[in-house]
Structure 1
Protein backbone atom coordinates (compact mmCIF):
# COMPACT_ATOMS: atom_id res chain seq x y z
CA UNK A 1 0.00 0.00 0.00
CA UNK A 2 1.27 3.49 -0.78
CA UNK A 3 -0.01 6.99 -0.24
CA UNK A 4 0.74 10.47 -1.45
CA UNK A 5 0.65 13.49 0.83
CA UNK A 6 0.80 17.08 -0.37
CA UNK A 7 1.36 19.79 2.18
CA UNK A 8 1.15 23.29 0.69
CA UNK A 9 3.69 25.57 2.33
CA UNK A 10 2.68 28.78 0.56
CA UNK A 11 0.52 29.85 -2.35
CA UNK A 12 1.96 30.83 -5.69
CA UNK A 13 0.38 32.18 -8.87
CA UNK A 14 0.78 29.48 -11.53
CA UNK A 15 -0.47 28.50 -14.99
CA UNK A 16 -1.61 24.95 -15.84
CA UNK A 17 -0.35 23.88 -19.24
CA UNK A 18 0.17 20.78 -21.36
CA UNK A 19 3.77 19.55 -21.18
CA UNK A 20 3.86 19.57 -24.99
CA UNK A 21 4.09 23.40 -24.87
CA UNK A 22 7.41 23.27 -22.99
CA UNK A 23 10.63 23.99 -24.86
CA UNK A 24 14.38 24.12 -24.27
CA UNK A 25 16.62 27.03 -25.18
CA UNK A 26 20.18 26.69 -26.54
CA UNK A 27 21.56 26.44 -22.98
CA UNK A 28 19.12 23.66 -22.02
CA UNK A 29 16.84 25.84 -19.86
CA UNK A 30 13.23 24.69 -19.61
CA UNK A 31 10.68 27.30 -20.65
CA UNK A 32 7.89 28.33 -22.97
CA UNK A 33 7.73 30.47 -26.08
CA UNK A 34 5.61 33.59 -25.77
CA UNK A 35 4.34 36.15 -28.25
CA UNK A 36 4.85 39.78 -27.25
CA UNK A 37 4.04 42.53 -29.78
CA UNK A 38 4.25 40.01 -32.63
CA UNK A 39 7.68 38.70 -31.63
CA UNK A 40 8.59 35.28 -30.22
CA UNK A 41 10.28 35.37 -26.81
CA UNK A 42 11.65 32.43 -24.84
CA UNK A 43 10.76 32.63 -21.13
CA UNK A 44 12.45 30.40 -18.56
CA UNK A 45 9.90 29.00 -16.14
CA UNK A 46 9.70 27.66 -12.62
CA UNK A 47 8.14 24.21 -12.57
CA UNK A 48 5.84 24.13 -9.53
CA UNK A 49 4.20 20.73 -9.96
CA UNK A 50 3.54 18.10 -12.61
CA UNK A 51 0.90 15.42 -12.98
CA UNK A 52 -0.12 12.98 -15.72
CA UNK A 53 -2.06 15.62 -17.65
CA UNK A 54 -0.03 18.79 -17.34
CA UNK A 55 2.37 21.04 -15.48
CA UNK A 56 1.94 24.02 -13.17
CA UNK A 57 4.33 26.84 -14.12
CA UNK A 58 5.21 29.99 -12.18
CA UNK A 59 7.35 33.00 -12.89
CA UNK A 60 5.05 35.03 -15.11
CA UNK A 61 4.25 38.69 -14.51
CA UNK A 62 0.59 39.09 -15.42
CA UNK A 63 -1.11 37.65 -18.48
CA UNK A 64 1.00 36.08 -21.23
CA UNK A 65 0.35 34.67 -24.70
CA UNK A 66 1.98 31.23 -24.77
CA UNK A 67 2.55 29.49 -28.09
CA UNK A 68 0.91 26.07 -27.70
CA UNK A 69 0.77 24.93 -31.33
CA UNK A 70 3.75 25.22 -33.67
CA UNK A 71 6.27 26.35 -31.05
CA UNK A 72 8.80 23.92 -32.55
CA UNK A 73 8.81 25.88 -35.81
CA UNK A 74 9.71 29.31 -34.36
CA UNK A 75 12.64 30.70 -32.41
CA UNK A 76 13.24 33.77 -30.27
CA UNK A 77 13.19 36.94 -32.32
CA UNK A 78 10.96 35.58 -35.08
CA UNK A 79 8.05 37.82 -36.11
CA UNK A 80 4.71 35.97 -36.05
CA UNK A 81 1.02 36.59 -36.48
CA UNK A 82 -0.46 34.63 -33.60
CA UNK A 83 -4.05 33.41 -33.56
CA UNK A 84 -5.79 32.99 -30.23
CA UNK A 85 -7.36 29.62 -29.51
CA UNK A 86 -11.09 29.49 -28.99
CA UNK A 87 -12.19 29.00 -25.40
Structure 2
Protein backbone atom coordinates (compact mmCIF):
# COMPACT_ATOMS: atom_id res chain seq x y z
CA UNK A 1 0.00 0.00 0.00
CA UNK A 2 1.37 3.41 -0.96
CA UNK A 3 1.83 6.18 1.58
CA UNK A 4 -0.19 9.38 1.34
CA UNK A 5 1.62 12.63 0.62
CA UNK A 6 1.26 13.69 4.26
CA UNK A 7 2.74 10.41 5.51
CA UNK A 8 5.64 10.79 3.10
CA UNK A 9 6.34 14.35 4.28
CA UNK A 10 6.27 13.23 7.93
CA UNK A 11 8.81 10.51 7.13
CA UNK A 12 11.27 13.05 5.69
CA UNK A 13 10.32 13.14 2.03
CA UNK A 14 10.33 16.48 0.25
CA UNK A 15 9.19 17.65 -3.15
CA UNK A 16 11.93 17.27 -5.76
CA UNK A 17 11.59 19.08 -9.07
CA UNK A 18 14.02 18.28 -11.89
CA UNK A 19 14.40 19.89 -15.30
CA UNK A 20 15.95 17.61 -17.89
CA UNK A 21 17.71 19.08 -20.92
CA UNK A 22 18.07 16.51 -23.68
CA UNK A 23 19.02 16.30 -27.34
CA UNK A 24 16.22 15.57 -29.80
CA UNK A 25 16.85 12.13 -31.37
CA UNK A 26 16.35 13.35 -34.97
CA UNK A 27 17.91 16.80 -34.47
CA UNK A 28 21.01 16.36 -32.31
CA UNK A 29 21.77 20.11 -32.20
CA UNK A 30 18.35 20.93 -30.73
CA UNK A 31 17.83 20.83 -26.96
CA UNK A 32 14.43 20.21 -25.44
CA UNK A 33 13.29 20.22 -21.80
CA UNK A 34 11.23 17.91 -19.64
CA UNK A 35 10.08 18.69 -16.06
CA UNK A 36 9.76 15.85 -13.53
CA UNK A 37 8.34 16.10 -9.97
CA UNK A 38 8.06 13.53 -7.20
CA UNK A 39 8.49 13.18 -3.46
CA UNK A 40 12.04 12.07 -2.67
CA UNK A 41 14.54 11.92 0.19
CA UNK A 42 17.55 14.28 0.22
CA UNK A 43 20.52 14.06 -0.11
CA UNK A 44 20.51 10.64 -1.82
CA UNK A 45 17.46 11.23 -4.09
CA UNK A 46 16.80 7.55 -4.91
CA UNK A 47 13.66 8.22 -6.98
CA UNK A 48 15.35 10.92 -9.07
CA UNK A 49 18.37 8.74 -9.83
CA UNK A 50 16.09 5.78 -10.63
CA UNK A 51 14.27 7.98 -13.16
CA UNK A 52 17.59 9.14 -14.66
CA UNK A 53 18.64 5.50 -15.07
CA UNK A 54 15.27 4.75 -16.71
CA UNK A 55 15.78 7.69 -19.08
CA UNK A 56 19.26 6.53 -20.07
CA UNK A 57 18.06 2.94 -20.67
CA UNK A 58 14.69 3.50 -22.38
CA UNK A 59 14.49 7.02 -23.88
CA UNK A 60 16.19 7.80 -27.20
CA UNK A 61 16.98 11.45 -26.47
CA UNK A 62 20.42 11.58 -24.80
CA UNK A 63 20.60 13.75 -21.70
CA UNK A 64 22.54 16.99 -21.87
CA UNK A 65 22.07 18.09 -18.24
CA UNK A 66 19.73 17.95 -15.25
CA UNK A 67 18.87 20.78 -12.83
CA UNK A 68 16.96 19.94 -9.69
CA UNK A 69 15.77 21.45 -6.44
CA UNK A 70 14.43 19.86 -3.28
CA UNK A 71 12.10 21.36 -0.68
CA UNK A 72 10.92 19.76 2.54
CA UNK A 73 7.35 20.81 2.98
CA UNK A 74 7.03 19.93 6.68
CA UNK A 75 9.13 18.11 9.22
CA UNK A 76 7.94 15.85 12.05
CA UNK A 77 8.48 18.58 14.66
CA UNK A 78 6.17 21.01 12.84
CA UNK A 79 3.07 18.82 12.73
CA UNK A 80 0.60 18.09 15.53
CA UNK A 81 -2.51 15.96 15.54
CA UNK A 82 -5.23 18.15 17.07
CA UNK A 83 -8.19 16.12 18.29
CA UNK A 84 -10.34 18.91 19.61
CA UNK A 85 -10.44 22.64 20.18
CA UNK A 86 -12.00 24.55 23.07
CA UNK A 87 -12.64 28.28 23.10
CA UNK A 88 -13.35 30.36 26.18
CA UNK A 89 -15.12 33.71 26.23
TM-score (norm 1): 0.32
Bigger Rg, which one: 2
Q: Normalized per residue, which structure has more helix?
A: 2
